[in-house]
Structure 1
Amino acid sequence: MTASTQSEAERAALRELDMDLLAEVERKVLWLSTAIIDAANSPSRKDPDGLKIGGHQASSASMTTIMTALWFTQLTSEDRVSVKPHASPVLHAINYLLGELTPEQLGTLRAFHGLQSYPSRSKDPDTVDYSTGSVGIGATAPIWGAIARRYAADTASVPRSAGRQYSLVGDAELDEGAVWEAVLDPSVTDLGELVWIVDFNRQSLDRVVPNISATRLQAMFAAAGWQVITLKYGRFLTALFDAPGGHHLKDRIDGMSNPEYQRLLRCSPAELRERLPGEGPGAGDIRALLDGLDDTQVTRVIRGLAGHDIPSLVDAFDRIDDSRPTVIFAYTIKGNGLPNAGHPQNHSNLLKPDQLALVAQQLGEDVTEPWRGFAEGSDAALLCTRTAERLRRRPVAVAEPPTVPADFGREIKGHSSTQQALGRLLLDLTRLAPAAARRVVTVAPDVASSTNLGGWVNKAGVWSSTAKRDWFADDAETILHWDERPTGQHVELGIAEVNLVSLLGELGATWSRWGEPLLPIGTLYDPFVTRALEPWSFGVYGGGQSILIGTPSGVTLAAEGGAHQSIITPSIGIEQPGVVSFEPAFVQDFEWCMLDALGRLGRAGGSSSYFRLSSRVLDQSMAAVPVDPAARERRRRQVVAGGYALRRAAAPAVTLVGMGAVLPEVLVAADRLGELGIPADVVCVTSADRLYRAVRARTGHGSRDAGAGDPAIVDQLFPADRATPMVTILDGHPHTLAFLAAVHGVRSINLGVTEFGQTGTLQELYRLHGIGPDAQVGAALDLVDPSPRH
């Protein structure tokens, strides 16, 4: 894969750009980004509740040179860029110069429906390739975007890209474990289109980072197979190092600690002449060297880093090796060009009016006319016009997603689990809906076989950018065949849930990025959903639509012990925006819900889904699926809407509401209550999420998105004339279903899991946590007969 559609002539022309002209653009970008944040905090924008609006002028300033060089000399329309979150004003400033924003919009940073605090692909009005803001997640997004683009090119109609995927990363962001989980994944070393540019300013939010080591970080990237380019000193300093005594100056700067270096940034020229030479053997030579420089040049000695030297950056871009990922460490100064440059607490510090006026004077700007662009017809204006034309993208025509059937129309018999049903559904999809099946892509972090994807993997193959030999293909005892080829539909990653869901987000965004919808499904052990939640949530925020399947789940895992028993994931499913969660008990319920989830992917107004599945094998006849076609369709609609009445008593005294793997115990409890003369209705919940939305919609407070609840389901499950005391039961936190008692204001007892589990048999664990038949019968008796029992 080549890295750019530019011809050599075009590249040569960009390299020959007048550096003074680029410096003029850089100064304009610095001013605009600084003024954008100042406007957000102006008296006219003061929050009536006194809350700080904020912004990051220093963080933006450290990226200004890098982004100017990248946009105006390097990027093509095929390239995509993930911008450091706190540098969003720089992105908006550049997009303004390219004609994408109006002057009025520049004053709306952090305003209601204005420019977002951090780059947002779904909410900002100008071009944003990746939503960023969750530290570490935006940095790695282009990795998964590159894989998603390659996959879509191999399996859909997306043209193979010639563009690069850039990440503009703050050095403190490299503290995030998500970064190294991604960098070290075996699939990354072949992605030659990846280019990371590290803004190496050696400051974090609170301080100068004392022991950050570029050498150590560079070695870690190199060990992962990346090309490492280091940009430390710009042309001025490099030339100075070659002067007599210059090697002592270089040794002195190289050897000083980060805090000492940052302190020198705050010094006047006179102070620099005194403090910079130090006390080493070369101090005299350094002092003599400084004596030959004027005050402006002395200041450049300590500030002349390559990350603020456009020619050095352009040279680095020309050295990118497109056969492997590249990381460029660009040494910068946080707040470069601003009065607070290098100050250890400048992260969210805002310039005072007199400081802003000084910056305007130095940059040739006017605080009373902050959004003034370049004069029409000027060289700078023409450069902006040419750059905008070069970066202009063709509108994306979004293809219609494939039709997914609502019902396979078959009778499900025997004993099975919802986890086993996943693999069978994918295989059935290849027969019954081949167009939809061809769009399915499954992803797993080394748990494909243990989450029942084995049959699908054998059928669909494993995706690889090149065909690879399966050395176990002729081994008669091999059950899982690892057939790696460009047309494969399963992507296997290392054991890192963050990588899994990050890739899901990008696979789920191909419909809007490239016009070709995919149907991405990721499987992981349910206890690890919480580990993966932040990046998956951020992918949903950025427009990615996917299905996440957590299986197996709950204390129903019994013998696995407390470490593998998820408790809070059912309520997470209710609370996660942009996602519909399901926890079906029976295979038929799972099939209907899964087909509904697949049908909401890859489209405007679509949504993601989360399934909590179980490895517990159940007798499927307990589902009592109606045979009559009309009754069956009614049941299907109810299942998808959130639940159905599994049993109706003639005159119920109590209602048992169960969800997921505990339904056999709910039915046993209902039988026992009937023997005690306490008839019970049994309601099977398939989606607490959709029922909660339905309850809210019933009062006029529900959302109207693709996962919105159907108010009618509430009255179908809980008609007013059957309102009785309620016992809710699930293998998860009891508050998940507690809201249902409020439908008719009945008394309720909510059973579930609130403590870490133990190893043991299934019934031992159910007794321990009070969700078995005994606990259900006891709770029902307490509700029906509240008098003390002895």
Structure 2
Amino acid sequence: MAAVHNPHQKVLRKMSAQDATPEIGEIIEASSTGQVKAEDLEMLGQIEKKVRWLSSWTIHNANHLRPKRDGIKVGGHQASCASMTTLMTALYFNVLRPQDRVAVKPHASPVFHAINYLFGRQTKEKLEKFRSFGGAQSYPSRTKDGDQVDFSTGSVGLGAAVTNFAALTQDYLRYKDMLPKGEVPGRMVALVGDAELDEGNIYEALLDTWKHDIRNVWWVIDYNRQSLDGMIDAHLFRVIGRFFRAVGWNVITIKYGRKLHEAFAKPGGKSLKKWLNDVPNDIYSALTFQGGAAWRAQITSDMPGDNALVSLLGEYEDDALHDLMTNLGGHCMEAVLSAFDAVPNDKPTIFIAYTVKGYGTPLQGHKDNHAGLMNVPQMDTFKEQNRVEDGQEWDFAAGLDISEDKIRSYIKNAPFNDAASRHKKADVITIPDMPYARTDTSSTQEVFGKILNELAKMKKSDLSDRIVTTSPDVTVSTNLGGFVNQRGLFGREDLADEFRERKVPSAQKWIRSPSGQHVELGIAENNLFLNLAALGLSHSLFGQRLFPIGTLYDPFIARGLDALNYACYQDARFMVVATPSGISLAPEGGAHQSISTPMIGMGQPGLTSFEPSFGDEVAAIMGWSFDHMQAEDGGSIYMRLSTKPLSQPERDLSDADKSDIVSGGYWLREPGDDCKMVIAYCGAMAPEAIAAWEKLSEDHPGLGLLAVTSTDRLYNEWQDLERARLEGKADAQMSHVENLLKPLASDARLVTVIDGHPAALAWLGSVRGHAVAPLGVNNFGQCGDSIALYEHYQIGTDAILRAAKRWD
């Protein structure tokens, strides 16, 4: 792709690889011929003032004016908002286009809501209820703030990293001609707090997406040099800048504003710049809080005998000196706009914008200001400074120097403000029957791989063409190999499989091309779930539906759990196949044997979990899942699969059978009249449960054998109905699990067995008040064969028999 022509390229190219990143002052000088219009600077300055006021007032209203029923502090991060107002005003009202997508720094949520209020996309009522039930959310939320939000943020670092994978998703669609021809690609923009760069997932994402040569990503770093508890280490941040350059990013530093650059050009200016470059972050922040007299005393003390510097400082009264010393690049609209205009190409770009935390407020610079709030007297003073009269706090133009009509007209014509929904729609794809062919013996993981392989062979299939698989370097061992052999690896350029070219025998055919449908990742589960999040939002972000399928080893869900929760929180749609699972992965030992993951599947909102035993169950679940991923009230899917080979039942499932399977369970052996005992099993424990049923059924002719395919669906449907009943609703309605257990006698006993945590099934006794003997694993596993481990952890056939006979 050709580089974008830019008049500032010469400035950037003069910098050698060893030099510091170009300072924005040099870019301003190169663009001082009127590229930033005076009218834009004036209008944006007024809008910025209003944005800062509205964000501060929204927080103040929530904490000091709105009644508190529980007495708990509401919060809202006024200082973290104030450091972002220039940057966000420049972006939203001048730079961004409708196709650009933005992840907003979590603590700048009130700024985001204020901007949308000015756009007419947010209501006064929502702002008045900020952080209250039904109001604007504490952190931007796709699902709770409506269609204003492109990416949810909250857990720091994830919002930044997901933009990389959104750019990768955009490239995936572009290279397959699934986006409108001629449409300029959107920029995936992350507004990032500097302390977010402490998060390790940031660097995992940078490395993995560097391999895919992503484009059209901007990260704007709010470098206010303060974290929640202290100051950011300046030396560490220099290392971070070098890291970004090492992975191919443009790095543009927005350090000083116009006023400071003009001061640097005067006699004594070089000394002032040297002092600013050398001053430690904590001293700078303390002086920012103390004000003009403190600046003067500190600088003259640190630079004794520099008469030119003393004369320069003498040109400024205390207030003017304070204004000068806080004129950092991130608060200079001209510097910010020039920086955004200076990007030389479509390669990823990071802007390190120097800012003041709490800029323009009484909280600025204080190391305790992160969770600090302006008190009532401080807010009264701040209101006077903004010339806002009592009763005008929410007014559109109160306190501004430009008429409301001019402000409204400017905002209406902002490129980003096209009034269209930020959430696009995609066509619903018709899902065919899954191509399942029974074999005498197979594992659920094997069946999953075979179904995908058969889908990959289908030509002109909307479903098959829109499946995209991804895995953290376990593609082959999770049975995605067949699909990849058929459909190939995705890459921006063609790359042959050298083993194949050299005729070296290999079962795998790793051919990379723009037409490929597998996104190869390194061993980083956070990246897997962030990639699934971005791919799973393709219908909403880009108007084209994909069916993302990610695979990983089941125990390592825990390594990426924060990113998985993040993906589900913003209603991304994907299928995660976790395999192998449980202590049935016997020889691998405790590090690879998952114990608590069934509980994760039950407890994670937005994710429906299944644990099938047989191949036809896998096929039924996959078919339902592709529909569920498209439904308005749908979500994502988690299948916990096993490598344990099981004898496959000879049966043709009816529609009713398939419905029971996807509803969470069915009777593999129907209970008899007045049934006194049931064995309930999950997943890989089917053979042991069946063997125990066969031995017990002679003495217990009514014995039932319950196959639980989804503890999640059974439990949550039952609980939803229980809550409805407490409200006097749904009294006559019965959940699937209640209907399943209805034939049991009131004194019936249940034996439940799973190769994970026993609590996943133990709750079954609560449905109708039956006693339960829950068998499962609640300790770390160890190496051995499955027979030895089942005996040791007491979940095998003999253990089931012992549990059942306790009640004889």
Distance of aligned partners of 1:731 and 1:321 in 2 relative to their CA distance in 1, 3 Å threshold: farther
CA distance, structure 2, for counterparts of residue 463 and residue 728 of structure 1: 44
Question: How much has 1:405 moved relative to structure 2?
Answer: 3.2
Indicate the residue corresponding to 1:162 in structure 2. Answer: 185
Distance of aligned partners of 1:754 and 1:351 in 2 relative to their CA distance in 1, 3 Å threshold: same
SS in 1 for 2:804: helix
Distance of aligned partners of 1:195 and 1:675 in 2 relative to their CA distance in 1, 3 Å threshold: same
Indicate the residue corresponding to 1:20 in structure 2. Answer: 42
Give yes or no for the alignment of 1:445 onto 2:472: yes
Q: Higher mean Cα deviation, 522-531 or 356-365?
A: 356-365
1:761 alignment partner, one of 771, 785, 788: 785
Give yes or no for the alignment of 1:302 onto 2:325: yes
Q: Higher mean Cα deviation, 592-601 or 468-477?
A: 468-477
CA distance, structure 2, for counterparts of residue 34 and residue 650 of structure 1: 67
Indicate the residue corresponding to 2:29 in structure 1. Answer: none
| C-alpha distance after superposition, 1:449-471 (max 9, x if no partner) | 11001010011111223333332
Q: Higher mean Cα deviation, 599-608 or 561-570?
A: 599-608
Amino acid of the structure 1 residue aligned with 2:768: H
Question: How much has 1:436 moved relative to structure 2?
Answer: 1.4
| C-alpha distance after superposition, 1:101-142 (max 9, x if no partner) | 333333221122111111112221462211111111111121
CA distance, structure 2, for counterparts of residue 389 and residue 222 of structure 1: 29
| C-alpha distance after superposition, 1:200-242 (max 9, x if no partner) | 0111112223556331110111111111111111122122223
Give yes or no for the alignment of 1:357 onto 2:383: no
Q: Higher mean Cα deviation, 226-235 or 679-688?
A: 679-688
CA distance, structure 1, for counterparts of residue 209 and residue 427 of structure 2: 34
CA contact (8 A) 1:645 1:717 kept: no
Give yes or no for the alignment of 1:260 onto 2:283: yes
Distance of aligned partners of 1:441 and 1:15 in 2 relative to their CA distance in 1, 3 Å threshold: farther
1:558 alignment partner, one of 582, 586, 611: 586
CA distance, structure 1, for counterparts of residue 496 and residue 109 of structure 2: 45
| C-alpha distance after superposition, 1:318-366 (max 9, x if no partner) | 2213242110100000000001100111112111122112112222222
SS in 2 for 1:42: helix
Amino acid of the structure 2 residue aligned with 1:150: D
Give yes or no for the alignment of 1:424 onto 2:460: no
CA contact (8 A) 2:225 2:281 kept: yes
Distance of aligned partners of 1:344 and 1:539 in 2 relative to their CA distance in 1, 3 Å threshold: same
Distance of aligned partners of 1:453 and 1:337 in 2 relative to their CA distance in 1, 3 Å threshold: same
Amino acid of the structure 1 residue aligned with 2:452: L
CA contact (8 A) 1:252 1:278 kept: no
Indicate the residue corresponding to 2:116 in structure 1. Answer: 95
What TM-score do the two structures reach when normalised by structure 2? Answer: 0.90
Give yes or no for the alignment of 1:42 onto 2:64: yes
Q: Higher mean Cα deviation, 315-324 or 60-69?
A: 315-324
Indicate the residue corresponding to 1:291 in structure 2. Answer: 314
CA distance, structure 1, for counterparts of residue 293 and residue 112 of structure 2: 37
1:707-726 → structure 2 map (5 Å cutoff): 711-716=735-740, 718-721=742-745, 724-726=748-750
Question: How much has 1:552 moved relative to structure 2?
Answer: 0.3
1:405 alignment partner, one of 432, 437, 449: 432
Amino acid of the structure 2 residue aligned with 1:424: K
Distance of aligned partners of 1:279 and 1:696 in 2 relative to their CA distance in 1, 3 Å threshold: closer
2:753 alignment partner, one of 713, 717, 729: 729
Amino acid of the structure 1 residue aligned with 2:228: L
CA contact (8 A) 1:444 1:492 kept: yes
Question: How much has 1:277 moved relative to structure 2?
Answer: 2.3
1:72-83 → structure 2 map (5 Å cutoff): 72-83=93-104
SS in 1 for 2:356: coil
1:617-696 → structure 2 map (5 Å cutoff): 617-621=645-649, 624-625=650-651, 627=652, 632-648=654-670, 652-674=675-697, 680-696=703-719
| C-alpha distance after superposition, 1:49-107 (max 9, x if no partner) | 11111111110000001111112221111211111011111112122222223333332
CA distance, structure 2, for counterparts of residue 236 and residue 279 of structure 1: 22
Runs of 5+ unmatched residues, structure 2: 9-32, 727-732
Distance of aligned partners of 1:399 and 1:774 in 2 relative to their CA distance in 1, 3 Å threshold: same
Amino acid of the structure 1 residue aligned with 2:489: V
SS in 1 for 2:290: coil
CA contact (8 A) 2:36 2:338 kept: no
CA contact (8 A) 2:424 2:539 kept: no
Amino acid of the structure 2 residue aligned with 1:507: L
Question: How much has 1:161 moved relative to structure 2?
Answer: 4.4
1:189-228 → structure 2 map (5 Å cutoff): 190-210=213-233, 213-228=236-251
Distance of aligned partners of 1:246 and 1:564 in 2 relative to their CA distance in 1, 3 Å threshold: same
Amino acid of the structure 2 residue aligned with 1:33: S
CA distance, structure 2, for counterparts of residue 304 and residue 118 of structure 1: 28
Distance of aligned partners of 1:149 and 1:115 in 2 relative to their CA distance in 1, 3 Å threshold: same
Question: How much has 1:548 moved relative to structure 2?
Answer: 0.8
SS in 2 for 1:451: coil
Indicate the residue corresponding to 1:132 in structure 2. Answer: 153
CA distance, structure 2, for counterparts of residue 445 and residue 525 of structure 1: 9
Distance of aligned partners of 1:723 and 1:457 in 2 relative to their CA distance in 1, 3 Å threshold: farther
2:144 alignment partner, one of 94, 98, 123: 123
CA distance, structure 2, for counterparts of residue 500 and residue 180 of structure 1: 14
Q: Higher mean Cα deviation, 304-313 or 126-135?
A: 126-135
Question: How much has 1:714 moved relative to structure 2?
Answer: 3.3
CA distance, structure 2, for counterparts of residue 747 and residue 390 of structure 1: 61
Amino acid of the structure 1 residue aligned with 2:499: F
CA contact (8 A) 2:663 2:736 kept: no
Q: Higher mean Cα deviation, 170-179 or 693-702?
A: 693-702
CA contact (8 A) 2:608 2:637 kept: yes
Question: How much has 1:653 moved relative to structure 2?
Answer: 4.3
Amino acid of the structure 1 residue aligned with 2:93: F
Q: Higher mean Cα deviation, 165-174 or 685-694?
A: 685-694
Give yes or no for the alignment of 1:384 onto 2:411: yes
Question: How much has 1:315 moved relative to structure 2?
Answer: 1.3
Give yes or no for the alignment of 1:240 onto 2:263: yes
CA contact (8 A) 1:521 1:547 kept: yes
CA distance, structure 2, for counterparts of residue 280 and residue 534 of structure 1: 49
Give yes or no for the alignment of 1:494 onto 2:516: no
CA contact (8 A) 2:171 2:214 kept: no
Question: How much has 1:16 moved relative to structure 2?
Answer: 5.5
Q: Higher mean Cα deviation, 328-337 or 220-229?
A: 220-229
1:319 alignment partner, one of 333, 338, 342: 342
CA contact (8 A) 1:6 1:76 kept: no
Give yes or no for the alignment of 1:172 onto 2:195: yes
Amino acid of the structure 2 residue aligned with 1:480: Q
Indicate the residue corresponding to 1:744 in structure 2. Answer: 768
CA distance, structure 2, for counterparts of residue 431 and residue 420 of structure 1: 17
Question: How much has 1:710 moved relative to structure 2?
Answer: 7.4
CA contact (8 A) 2:141 2:149 kept: yes
Amino acid of the structure 2 residue aligned with 1:402: I
| C-alpha distance after superposition, 1:133-192 (max 9, x if no partner) | 111111112111111222233346332542211110000000011111111114466223
Amino acid of the structure 1 residue aligned with 2:623: L
SS in 1 for 2:585: helix
CA distance, structure 1, for counterparts of residue 212 and residue 247 of structure 2: 7
Distance of aligned partners of 1:30 and 1:212 in 2 relative to their CA distance in 1, 3 Å threshold: farther
Distance of aligned partners of 1:7 and 1:609 in 2 relative to their CA distance in 1, 3 Å threshold: farther
1:539 alignment partner, one of 550, 567, 570: 567
| C-alpha distance after superposition, 1:473-509 (max 9, x if no partner) | 3324122111212221111111111111111111111
CA contact (8 A) 1:202 1:212 kept: no
CA distance, structure 2, for counterparts of residue 599 and residue 510 of structure 1: 16
Distance of aligned partners of 1:52 and 1:389 in 2 relative to their CA distance in 1, 3 Å threshold: closer
SS in 1 for 2:774: strand
Question: How much has 1:612 moved relative to structure 2?
Answer: 0.3
Give yes or no for the alignment of 1:568 onto 2:596: yes
Amino acid of the structure 2 residue aligned with 1:423: G
Amino acid of the structure 1 residue aligned with 2:609: S
| Overall identity of the aligned pairs, in % | 39
Amino acid of the structure 2 residue aligned with 1:362: Q
